[in-house]
Structure 1
Amino acid sequence: MSRRGVREWAVDIGAFLFAGCFLVLSADSVAIAPGTSETALLMDQLAGGLACAALFVRRRLPVPLAVVLLLAEPFSHFITGPILVALFTVAVNRPPRVTAYLSVLAFAPVPIFLASEPAADDPRTASSLTYFALLAGAIGWGLYVRSRRQLVVSLRERAARAATEARREAREDIAREMHDVLAHRLSLLSVHAGALEFNPGAAPEQVGRAAAVIRDSAHQALEDLRDVIGVLRAPEDGDRPQPVLADVERLADESRQAGARVTLDVDVAGGPERAPAITGRTAYRIVQEGLTNARKHGAGPDLPVSVTVRGASGKGLTVEIRNPAKREGAPRDGADTGPGIPGAGQGLIGLTERTLLAGGTLEHGWDGPDYRLYAALPWPS
């Protein structure tokens, strides 16, 4: 057993003083049998004092102590206080089944007492009834303290689990954000760098234009990374600008600059800016991931990609991205002789989670020669 600390010693001394004060204050009300000698009374009081001192072992031996005190109670009139403390300790620190067994032992004299048909005006009747009431109060209070402690522990564990879950969800949100942002930028860098590598005879103006796009994409990727890390370091500063549905035009322009033939068809009642913030941001991420995957797995550097966005208040918002792509294991187009852009396969998983959190659904898979990414998002009226 661990050594007692200051708090434990203070509680034990308080229990000893309570039992001692109870002994002194109840001495005059104890019904002493007629003919009891002064010596017997003194020995009875000494037994009560020893019982009070025995309470210092109640943490290590609560059940044996309570049993001994209950068995000694018929032979001593001054150990009621220690019995109350011992029963309270058992009720607090031991399983309810053990407390029930001790309660049976504590109230075993009740049937005998009732069978004796005590007189209502007999002082010993009032003393006995008070004794049994005090026992019931000590046990009941101990059970209450035990249940309250268990509730506090349960609430603390629940709070700890909630905090852990919140941290996990925050990490997942940051991971999704970093993937969505950086994968798009880095895929643009890879496309332009690959074009320079496998077309060394390009005209100087083409090389300069590609180099400018690479520089701008690298700069933007660093800015996006700085923004995400800033949120990670200071999550309370949640004022970082978030993309909206109207920004999909910029995504399409960036892909066109990388050589893709992007057809963007946006038909949103009232304009893209009317879409709800969460719905618009999720649609933006879906288009971003779709264009990134088209660059990674498309059939060629000048692949056609169609992006269709439809929506209206009360009808929802749909996003569809289609592009020709090579199935896994198939050779790539001869015009694209460079290695494919690697992918971890986490983009669509994170995108599915993001769509579900927004209250929508996401579908992706082959539709003939095209790879199709389709999402349906809510837009309340």
Structure 2
Amino acid sequence: MPDYAALKQALIARAREEGFDAVRIADADAAPEAGPRLNDWLAAGHHASMDWMAQNVDRRASPQGLWPEVRSVIMLAMNYGPADDPMALLERRSDGIISAYARNRDYHDIIKGKLKQVAGFLAVNAGAEVKVFVDTAPVMEKPLAQAAGLGWQGKHSVIVSRDHGGWLLLGVIFTTAHLPPDKPERDHCGSCTRCLDICPTNAFPAPYQLDARRCIAYLTIEHKGPIPRSLRPAIGNRVFGCDDCLAVCPWNKFASTAREAKLIARTDNIAPPLAELASLTDAEFRLRFAGSPVKRTGRERFIRNVLIAIGNSRDMKLAENARTLLNDEAATIRGSAVWALSQLLAAESLLALAQQHLPCETDAEVIAEWQLALAEGQAT
């Protein structure tokens, strides 16, 4: 029988060698409230179009539902704290903000490889079975992270750590070994509501509740098709994700900037010019964001986001970039270009473009964008 207490310490040391900043352990049944909370969230429709969240609910609700033999859950976290202040980038209206985690190589690839190394160490030394997960399986990472003592779910629903703030990427190892568990972390948010108050789209109907239908991260990454018109102005110049609720957390004062050795950041992906992004062809988009989380969203959704940012930019020079995209093959991009131009051009100029492009348009949603844009122009 292995000395599990000694093995735990050796496991933590091995994880730190791989670049993980925090390692905590929970019993597999340590988060019984996760399942009921998930059901309530789904029943409210707060998962929006993420239907995969509603699939395999029984397997997602608890680790044993996914793997009956699991006895311990090892939660690991890697800090990705940015060197800049994401909130300051909002003032650079002609540049597009990419969420801090997505400026790096895809964390799924980075963390999964490191998790396999740690899990392999455990399997060899404990004679136990292991499974690794990085945000790609029905695992409730955040409730398990709190149960393991790694941090607590803040009022914005994201894990916050007293040692690392809110800039944490999570990885999970399930094992049949029964390792000594850590104490769960309690909530340290107190009366603070900064993360709720800062949300541009009011995506939090109540503390600890996130409605993805209004979340900029969801709208710019997961949501397909046109972004609801009422929410477009609040998106500002965010072209992939949103860091506002993370950036204002006072616990970030304990977080350090992520080490380059762990997460390889591209400085040209911090806030690239919107004009540069709008001109990307599909091949150029794939090359520019190769190995990045941005690539998985695809050019169509990304350029849609860029056009929303152009419409919010107040930069008349960007109108030409939007005008060029009126001829794009993707209807979502054409419709977003119409909206962007309606925010930048005078009514007469917009009407002239409509007379040129509207008679040739066949997509109903793009036609509706033109009609609404022209009606709003006449109203003003």
Q: TM-score per shorter chain, which class?
A: under 0.3
Q: Identify the structure with the greater helix proportion.
A: 1
TM-score in terms of structure 1 length: 0.22
With a CA cutoff of 8 Å and minimum separation of 6, indicate the structure with the bigger relative contact order: 2
Radius of gyration: which is bigger? 1
